[in-house]
Homo-oligomer: A and B are copies of this chain.
Amino acid sequence: MTLSSSEATYPTRQLCEFLANLKLSDVPAPVVERTKDLYLDWIASAIAGKDAPAIRRLQEFAGAMGPGTGDAEVLVDRRRTSPYFAALINGASSHVVEQDDVHNGSVLHPAAVVFPPVLAAAQAEGRSGRDVLLASIAGYEAGIRIGEFMGRSHYRVFHTTGTVGTLAAAAAVAKLFGLDAEGINQALGTAGTQAAGLWEFLRDAADSKQLHTAKAAADGLQSAWLARAGFTGARRILEGAQGMAAGMSSDANPAALTDGLGTRWATAETSFKYFASCRHTHPAADALAALVRRDGIAAEQIAKVTAHVHQGAIDVLGPVVNPTTIHQAKFSMGTVLGLVAVHAHAGLGEFETQALQDARVAAFRDKVEMVLDEEINAAYPRQWIGRVTVHTTDGRTLEARVDVPKGDPDNTLSRPELEAKAIQLGAFRHGASEAEMRAIIARTWRLDAEADVRNWLPAAR
Contacts and interface: CB of A to CB of B under 8 A. Distances in A.
A200 interface: yes
Interface in A175-196: 186, 189-190, 192-196
A186 B208 CA distance: 11
A301 B3 CA distance: 38
B203 A240 contact: yes
Contact of A57 (B54, B57, B196, B231): B231
A157 interface: yes
A275 interface: no
Interface in A229-249: 229-237, 240-244, 246-248
A194 B222 contact: no
A212 B195 CA distance: 11
B215 A194 contact: yes
Nearest to A202: B242
A104 interface: no
Nearest to A60: B229
9 smallest beta-carbon distances between A and B, as pairs: A157-B247, A199-B242, A200-B234, A65-B84, A206-B232, A200-B243, A196-B196, A57-B231, A200-B240
Interface string A148-165: 000000001110001000
B196 A229 contact: no
A324 B202 CA distance: 45
Interface residues of A, number: 66
B198 A234 contact: yes
Contact of A193 (B190, B211, B226, B241): B211
Given A157-B242, A200-B234, A243-B200, A225 B190 contact: no
B57 A230 contact: yes
Nearest to A237: B200
A364 interface: no
A198 B85 contact: no
Interface in A52-69: 53-54, 57-58, 60-61, 64-67
Contacts of A215: 194, 219
Contacts of A82: 64-66
A131 to B, nearest CB: 19
A155 to B, nearest CB: 10
